[in-house]
Amino acid sequence: MDITFQNVVFLVVAIFISVFSILTVTTSKIMRSATYLLFVLFGTAAIYFLLGYTFLGAVQIMIYAGGIIILYVFSILLTNSEENINKGIKKGKLIPILITVLLGAGIIFFIIFTHNFIPMASTEAIQELSMKTIGFALVGGGKYQYILPFEILGVLLLACVIGGILIARKR
């Protein structure tokens, strides 16, 4: 197995994502957790760019790293209260957490060691769709087009923001 520059970059980005994923779930400060999640999402976009999916990488940065993190930060700032933050893990939950972690690691290792990862024959065979084609697919209202789910998701996110503001105002 020869080590290429792409493999090295992938390894660096994978370690970056792993470290910030662990920091996201282990930190006791919720704003730091949201910041670490932002770095994880940037790392995921880097993986997409590394694979040649430029549109998906751009969407990852704009929608998830931009929009969703802003929603999380606003939600945290609107509802953050020091008495609501639980510090530490209770002893009764430690065993189920360890079982879940070991089960998840077992599934991951099973998939890694039983799957034959076959490299693609050539990258020239894969053609990226044009922005115009993707735009028509997203905005169209016909079969296999996504304007209705997009609008429903927008209304759902608006309802979540309004609900968060109402909950924060009651205090």
* Domain-embedded: residue 18: yes
Residues 14 and 77 in one domain: yes
The last residue of one of the domains, among 25, 52, 81, is 81
Which pLDDT value is given to residue 84?
54
Domain that holds residue 17: 1-81
| Distance separating alpha carbons of residues 85 and 129, to the nearest angstrom | 46
pLDDT tens for each residue of 58-111: 888 888 888 888 878 877 777 765 555 556 667 788 888 889 989 999 998 898
Residue pair 65/42 in contact (Cβ under 8 Å)? The answer is yes
* Domain-embedded: residue 119: no
* Domain-embedded: residue 23: yes
* Domain-embedded: residue 67: yes
| Distance separating alpha carbons of residues 8 and 80, to the nearest angstrom | 40
Residue pair 36/24 in contact (Cβ under 8 Å)? The answer is yes
